[in-house]
Structure 1
Amino acid sequence: MTSVQSDIEIARAAAKKPIMEIGAALGIPADQLVPYGHDKAKVSADFIGSLSGRPDGKLILVTAVNPTPAGEGKTTTTVGLGDGLNRIGKRAIVCVREPSLGPCFGMKGGAAGGGYAQVVPMDDINLHFTGDFHAITAAHNLLSALIDNHLYWGNALGVDSRRVVWRRALDMNDRALRDMVCGLGGASNGFPRQTGFDITVASEIMAILCLASDLEDLERRLGDIIVAYRHDKSPVFARDLKADGAMTVLLKDAMQPNLVQTLENNPAFVHGGPFANIAHGCNSVVATRTALKLADYVVTEAGFGADLGAEKFFNIKCRKAGLKPAAAVIVATIRALKMNGGVAKADLGHENVDAVKAGCANLGRHIENVKQFGVPAIVAINHFSGDTDREIDAVRDYVARFGEEAIVCRHWEKGSAGIVDLAEKVVELAETGHAQFAPLYPDEMSLFGKMETVVKRIYRGAEAVAEPTVLDQLSQWEAAGYGHLPVCMAKTQYSFSTDPTALGAPNDHTVAIREVRLSAGAGFVVAITGQIMTMPGLPRTPAAETIHLDDRGQIEGLF
């Protein structure tokens, strides 16, 4: 029996081209690329600025059903579709996020695709890459240090140390750092106060970098960060601490998109990495806009299911960046649908058409939700070897009720040759010009009204509820001029509700908003629901236990 190669073995065997050749094929001069070795480079800000007069290509979003332990393959499908579009003669670029170290060493693994639909170098992308996350972490913690330093040296701004809202950041899953007290050890170490750490991908600086249009916009947004409040509850901004300039310096190179390639030597931008369950879950605006100037088609993904990633892609990223998606692909697997239909993971290998039909309710909800934004959708069935014809037919028949198609895709096994049908259908969908994109709610709606709209129209909940203190805080922000901002819902990725065990398509549940945070620099208000954490923990058996170097010094265990 032939053994199946692991993702990292496939990636290691890739016949990569020098990154300068990948850039040259896009018309990027060698002197406008900053190489990081032979297979990755940053695109200069000067070159990006020179593209402003060009027309845009068509933007395709890849989203998915709610994630399950069975796997969905959204990034794999994004990469595969990019390769498939190039295979049928379209000039296409893939735009995906950079993976976080936390999940890589935790439970989820990396995020560079899989099988024969990957971006490479897979090991570099999943680990330190070009240092963007380290720069974001450093900029975040510089601001943290400046706050405590200001308190130590007399607190000229009158900061109420009980109302410092800026925490610290680390790109690792470490539950012990969620809540802590800093400044212990005597007068020379500052003033003790309660604080904590968020994972770097949940940092407002990560969101700012991914939404900023250029360095000038980046510095303005960094200055807009609210770090604390005074005793009279007036805000203290990062610019009040004179932190914005130094933070911009640390992020100067991180703002430039990273150019890499797929296994089939097609171009890909891998840049930025906010989580979709606690942030807005999309790659950078700079990378997406640059790709749109260089390609006929840009294929990008948004994190987790369409209730999180796609909703935020439409309501936050597209709204703020002026993007107009032409079509959306919703990824589903037979295995994930069976789990949503009540089948245990251990039993997924057995045919169960009834469970597939029951689980399709989750897929149908996502189809309806994407179409609410005026974007036509198509379903990609990411094929697994155990899928049966009857199970696939059940999905096709179900999707047809919505007037849409479900296409079987075998890109994991066959690369671009296995996804040609989807590529052709996406072109047909995008070229018809039927997309009439519009966000779900207007800017002038109240902040809580926006949260209620997402709860009722996307999650299909009966109501959103919040304590009076939360509602008062929202009212204060509206009075201060922040009422026009979109909302960023922090919610479990596993369910439409706040209960991660409520699979399928639950209705009429209550969504409790337990905390709100103003990300004035990023330009949205975060609503934290249920038990979602902005600093994840490691599982009982973390992936880190099996990651190591072999006798040849090569990385093993990374997936």
Structure 2
Amino acid sequence: MTEFSLGLTGDINDIMNAHNLAMVALNARMQHEANYTDAELAKRGLRRLDIDPKNVEMGWVLDFAAQGLRNIMIGIGGKKDGFLMQSKFGIAVGSELMAILAVAKDLADMRERFKHIVVGYDRTGKRVTTSDLEVDGAMTAWMRNTINPTLCSTVEGQPCFVHAGPFANIAIGQSSIIADRIGLKCFDYHVTESGFAADIGFEKFWNVKARLGGLKPNVSVLVATVRALKMHGGGPTVVPGRCENMVHLINVIKKSGIKPVVCINAFYTDTPAEHALVKRIAEQAGARAAVSEHWLKGGDGALDLADAVMDACKEEVDFKFLYPLEMPLRQRVEKIAKEVYGADGVDWAPLAEEKAKKFEADPLYADYSTMMVKSHLSLSHEPTWKGVPKGWRLPIRDVLVYGGAKFLCPMAGAISLMPGTSSDPAYRRIDVDVKTGKVSGLF
């Protein structure tokens, strides 16, 4: 557990190095183009890309929550110190390379996708990619081993694949398609994760991952805790007995044609009456429900949940996507906002609408997936709006482009690609016993 907690599988480290290699290539190229004539560049086997320093899409990544690096200046010094420009850092798991790892079918697919990562634009507005920088091959070499899922096990010995990463409010937040395909070949039942509830995680699994992977799920498990339902019932003032948020998410899952199962994730602070209430409301909404005490009892505590899931798997699934790929970007966003989030509509900022119109008119983006970016703390874009907010519209302020993953990412609200460190960070409690080498404070 110590090695897993400190280093995970090593994939994030490879993603970070490959991503930052692209930024090294970008900044070095901009420096050389600023210092050399076209003829001098040609002698070095380079052509002028004429990258617009005010229109650089990519930033650096780091596997830390480091809010001080969200906006930075690089290249300070002389002409040998890189190109002077504004830049930024994001969290490593939010890198487009992580998204590519989740959706790639094999190494050849990953290699092809790495060609098309957009690092920025030239002064005419044309895309500049990692292929233009001739860094895509080296990036793939750095990530060649990440294509393989890591086989771990639970403390009880059940096999578990760890592949790809979190951050579903920015990227796809799914376990990989490769791990799913292997799991389906090896086991009778394969459970795969989608981060952040049914409004984010399931919506992206439903309309993006299942479409790209060609897999049809049998059942969707919605995990609920009494504490979370209380917060959504009256947060920030805790109010018991309100489950509107859970019922809304059950209905979202049902729109896909899948029968949902609610896992009531039990804790010692709950009461049997609370569990019974949540179970009854979930069943009234058309879902199976089971109390799971795996937190206390391990696998033995999850047997009722396992039975409910296996029972649901016996039913035929009439799986259907929320929208066809032919639907234009703005119509897709409107559909997701209304049908999944419960918004009355969408308001586009001028910049976002200008970009959306350009993407809709360009055949290059016709098969791009729509990867919504919003808060995971609410159905809406506003983290403090709990339960099921009414009478609101979803504001889209920008649209990011992930050219290799083939994602268009509409940005709703103030989402940062680099989280911040809290006033009581975990590192304050982590230490090493110098006699035994044992790490403490991780769990």
Task: Please give the residue correspondences for 1:98-497 in structure 2 after superposition, counting only pairs within 5 Å.
Answer: 122-154=1-33, 156-342=48-234, 355-358=239-242, 360-432=243-315, 434-480=316-362, 481-497=364-380
Report the Cα offset of residue 554 of structure 1: 1.5
Give deviations 1:444-467, integer Å, cap 9, x for gaps.
111111111111111101111112
1:508 aligns with 2:391: yes
Counterpart amino acid of residue 252 in structure 2: N
- Could you tell me whether the CA contact under 8 Å between 2:65 and 2:420 is conserved in 1? yes
Report the Cα offset of residue 198 of structure 1: 0.8
- Could you tell me whether the CA contact under 8 Å between 1:175 and 1:538 is conserved in 2? yes
For 2:291, what is the secondary structure of its paired residue? Answer: strand
Report the Cα offset of residue 407 of structure 1: 0.8
For 1:297, what is the secondary structure of its paired residue? Answer: coil
- Could you tell me whether the CA contact under 8 Å between 2:235 and 2:386 is conserved in 1? no
- Could you tell me whether the CA contact under 8 Å between 1:486 and 1:523 is conserved in 2? yes
- Could you tell me whether the CA contact under 8 Å between 2:267 and 2:296 is conserved in 1? no
Unaligned runs of 5+ in 2: 34-46
For 1:516, what is the secondary structure of its paired residue? Answer: strand
Unaligned runs of 5+ in 1: 1-121, 348-354
Determine the C-alpha separation between the residues in 1 that align with 2:334 and 2:19: 31
Determine the C-alpha separation between the residues in 2 that align with 1:219 and 1:486: 19
Evaluate the alpha carbon distance shift between residue 343 and residue 514 of structure 1 in structure 2; reply closer, same or farther with a 3 A threshold: closer
Partner of 2:421: 538
Determine the C-alpha separation between the residues in 1 that align with 2:151 and 2:293: 26
Determine the C-alpha separation between the residues in 1 that align with 2:134 and 2:360: 26
For 1:435, what is the secondary structure of its paired residue? Answer: coil
Counterpart amino acid of residue 17 in structure 2: A
For 1:188, what is the secondary structure of its paired residue? Answer: coil
Give deviations 1:32-85, integer Å, cap 9, x for gaps.
xxxxxxxxxxxxxxxxxxxxxxxxxxxxxxxxxxxxxxxxxxxxxxxxxxxxxx
For 1:153, what is the secondary structure of its paired residue? Answer: helix
1:558 aligns with 2:442: yes
Report the Cα offset of residue 343 of structure 1: 6.0
Report the Cα offset of residue 209 of structure 1: 1.2
1:528 aligns with 2:397: no
Report the Cα offset of residue 375 of structure 1: 1.1
Counterpart amino acid of residue 191 in structure 2: V
Report the Cα offset of residue 184 of structure 1: 1.0
Determine the C-alpha separation between the residues in 1 that align with 2:288 and 2:218: 16
- Could you tell me whether the CA contact under 8 Å between 1:549 and 1:556 is conserved in 2? yes
- Could you tell me whether the CA contact under 8 Å between 1:463 and 1:508 is conserved in 2? no
Evaluate the alpha carbon distance shift between residue 364 and residue 279 of structure 1 in structure 2; reply closer, same or farther with a 3 A threshold: same
Q: How many pairs does the alignment contain?
A: 428
Determine the C-alpha separation between the residues in 2 that align with 1:462 and 1:343: 22
Determine the C-alpha separation between the residues in 2 that align with 1:548 and 1:333: 31
Determine the C-alpha separation between the residues in 2 that align with 1:372 and 1:319: 16
For 1:517, what is the secondary structure of its paired residue? Answer: strand
Determine the C-alpha separation between the residues in 1 that align with 2:5 and 2:205: 23
Counterpart amino acid of residue 410 in structure 2: A
Give deviations 1:522-543, integer Å, cap 9, x for gaps.
1211111111111000111111
- Could you tell me whether the CA contact under 8 Å between 1:447 and 1:483 is conserved in 2? no
Determine the C-alpha separation between the residues in 2 that align with 1:336 and 1:149: 48
Give deviations 1:126-164, integer Å, cap 9, x for gaps.
221332111000000000010111112226122222212
Determine the C-alpha separation between the residues in 1 that align with 2:84 and 2:438: 45
Counterpart amino acid of residue 373 in structure 1: S
- Could you tell me whether the CA contact under 8 Å between 1:207 and 1:274 is conserved in 2? no
Evaluate the alpha carbon distance shift between residue 124 and residue 262 of structure 1 in structure 2; reply closer, same or farther with a 3 A threshold: same
For 1:509, what is the secondary structure of its paired residue? Answer: coil
Give deviations 1:205-228, integer Å, cap 9, x for gaps.
110111111111001101011111
Report the Cα offset of residue 271 of structure 1: 1.1
Q: Which runs of 4+ in 1 moved over 4 A?
A: none
Partner of 2:43: none
Structure 2 length-normalised TM? 0.93
Determine the C-alpha separation between the residues in 2 that align with 1:165 and 1:340: 36
For 2:55, what is the secondary structure of its paired residue? Answer: strand
Partner of 2:42: none
For 1:317, what is the secondary structure of its paired residue? Answer: helix
Give deviations 1:248-282, integer Å, cap 9, x for gaps.
10000111110011111111101110311111110
Counterpart amino acid of residue 123 in structure 1: T
Determine the C-alpha separation between the residues in 2 that align with 1:180 and 1:342: 39
- Could you tell me whether the CA contact under 8 Å between 2:65 and 2:421 is conserved in 1? yes
- Could you tell me whether the CA contact under 8 Å between 1:238 and 1:244 is conserved in 2? yes
Structure 1 length-normalised TM? 0.74
Report the Cα offset of residue 344 of structure 1: 5.8
Counterpart amino acid of residue 153 in structure 1: H
For 2:195, what is the secondary structure of its paired residue? Answer: coil
Give deviations 1:477-498, integer Å, cap 9, x for gaps.
2333203322111111110111
For 1:161, what is the secondary structure of its paired residue? Answer: strand
Q: Percent identity among equivalent residues?
A: 39
Counterpart amino acid of residue 104 in structure 2: A
Greater length-normalized contact order (CA 8 Å, ≥ 6 residues apart): 1
Counterpart amino acid of residue 96 in structure 2: E
Evaluate the alpha carbon distance shift between residue 452 and residue 343 of structure 1 in structure 2; reply closer, same or farther with a 3 A threshold: closer
Q: Which moved more, 1:319-328 or 1:158-167?
A: 158-167
- Could you tell me whether the CA contact under 8 Å between 2:18 and 2:143 is conserved in 1? yes
Determine the C-alpha separation between the residues in 1 that align with 2:353 and 2:8: 41
Counterpart amino acid of residue 354 in structure 2: D
Q: Which moved more, 1:148-157 or 1:160-169?
A: 148-157
Evaluate the alpha carbon distance shift between residue 182 and residue 461 of structure 1 in structure 2; reply closer, same or farther with a 3 A threshold: same
Counterpart amino acid of residue 335 in structure 1: R
